[in-house]
Amino acid sequence: MLNKQNKEYWQKYKPGEIPSPSKEPPEELINEIRGKILDVGTGDGDLAEKLAERGFRVFGIDIAENIIYENKKRNTNVEYSVQDIAKKTEFPDNKFDLILFQYTLTNIHKESWEFLGNEIFRILKPRGKVWVFEPLVSGGYKERYKLASYFIKDKNCVYVFSNKNLAEKIKTKKELKKAINDKKVTRIVKHYTKKEIERMFSKLKLIQDRKVEITSPSGFKINTFEGIFLKERR
């Protein structure tokens, strides 16, 4: 249900409106890649386009049909398609040398974790890698986690509102319930613990990770997990 609500939200976005952190994978990781790259939740394709300009064969997938439609209009070498990584993709086994996640998993809830992990393992080549840049549990969101917990069983979730200033005004369960009933909630995002991210990619080996702090598009400080996973076997 949570995944469905988030999917409906992204379908309404128009090209150029998708908020996303301006982060690129480590240069040392990119330099060792010789094959195909998949950018999951590619949005307007900013990262995918940069990598394609460097000579990589890049595939960009997203659930937002209108965004992908506009991306395809550009004179680009990126191969765009509408696909959902939380469901079976159209890609063959062992296709990609590198798969990228940047603030995409935050929209995917635990009901899809196992399938997503299996799908990533299937389409990633042996010795292929996954780069993850996703939100971690952050102290500044403590009260919002608590409020969300009255309505959501999963921990460390945050309601996102149509008016970003509304988030700071809602302080009680009653106020949040009213906002939900008034359809002022646009989506529900998940902030992860490191253990949860490792669990999602349990078939892969975590070979590098660190915690960084960024400012979200809404202006909040948020801890972020940056990690690299390796597929050791078939």
Residue type for 27, please? Answer: E
Residue-wise pLDDT tens digits, 193-223:
999 999 999 999 999 999 998 877 667 788 9
Secondary structure (DSSP) of 65-112: HHHHHHHHHSS-S-EEEE--TTS--SPPTT-EEEEEEES-GGG--GGG
Q: How confident is the model at residue 140 (pLDDT cuts 50, 70, 90)?
A: confident
Q: What is the pLDDT of residue 234?
A: 64
Q: How many CB atoms lie within 10 A of CB 131?
A: 21
- Give all strands (DSSP E) within the chain, no chain letters: 36-40, 57-62, 79-82, 96-102, 124-135, 157-161, 185-190, 205-215, 221-230
The predicted-structure confidence for 144-155, as pLDDT tens digits, reads as follows: 999 999 999 889
Q: Residue 118 in 3-state DSSP?
A: helix
pLDDT per position as a tens digit, 69-125: 989 998 789 999 999 998 889 999 999 999 999 999 998 888 889 999 999 999 999
Q: Work out the mean pLDDT of the chain and round it to a whole number.
A: 89
What tokens appear for 50 in the block?
């940069």
